[in-house]
Amino acid sequence: MGKGTSGAGGGSAGVVTGAKNADGYVRFGDFSEGGSLNYRKLTARQREDLADLLEPGEDPREAMERWKRNGDRTWKDADIDSLYEEGVSVFKAKNGVPIAENLTQAQSMAVRMDGRQMYEVDGKPQKNTGQDGEPVLNGITGKRELKYNKEKLEKNLISQMKKHYTDIQGDYDPSATDQIHTFWDDTKKKRTVSYKGYTFSGAKSKEWEDY
């Protein structure tokens, strides 16, 4: 597959550099080839521990196993293996630019574009998908760190989202929260999505609706 400079959403030159695959997969944050942690399987307290107690650069599995060995009440009965997916969850990508295939993937992607490392990953896609319907790879054969421009990546995600809604309002605000929020708009009488100064409503498909 050839190398390129433009990706999903259009206007993406310079968004990501270092990608080798025109059509490939990317992941934010380092990972173990043994599988990706499924955060939806964690309790609220377990998620808090990982957010507050994990040392910089520490592997989550090593931390959880240590807490379990130490008899921490949050972890002593945890089946850590069951908390992991069978493979590495990734986003589909075009020239290294991640593609959101539904609203939950967009929400997951948005909070990860915070300066953390992003990798282009080579592997075999599995039939089963991850918690947000994202691809899961096994048999990892390559991993390359990519460089990205946060503001351009945010704008690219906005361009992707615009294709999936009929009513789009606002302008880009880089200071707005990194999270994609959903709410009921009493004026429009519609479920509405907000991100970086924009609001989106009138989803064109169920994959982009909020439930």
pLDDT at position 4: 40
Specify if 142 maps to a domain: no
* pLDDT of 148: 96
Q: What is the pLDDT of residue 12?
A: 53
Q: Which amino acid is at 51?
A: A
Is the residue at 187 inside a domain?
yes
Split into its structural domains, the chain has a count of 2
In sequence order, the 6+-apart residues with CB closer than 8 A to the CB of 160 are 8, 9, 99, 100, 106
Domain extent at residue 192: 155-205
Residue 78 forms part of a structural domain: yes
Q: Which of these three, 83, 115, 137, is where a domain ends?
A: 83
197 in a structural domain: yes
In this predicted structure, what is the pLDDT of residue 211? 58
Residues 6+ apart with CB under 8 A from 66: none
- The verdict on residue 65 lying in a domain is yes
**Boundary of a domain, candidates 50, 83, 116:** 83
Q: Considering the domain boundaries, does residue 72 fall inside one?
A: yes
Helix residue spans in 40-149 (DSSP H): 44-53, 60-69, 103-112
In a domain, 125, yes or no: no
pLDDT along the chain (211 residues), means of 10: 44 82 93 74 90 82 92 93 85 97 96 92 91 90 94 97 97 96 92 97 93 58
Q: Is residue 75 a part of any domain in this protein? A: yes
| Kind and range of the H or E run holding 168 | strand 165-170
Given 57, 83, 109, the domain boundary residue is: 83
pLDDT at 34: 65
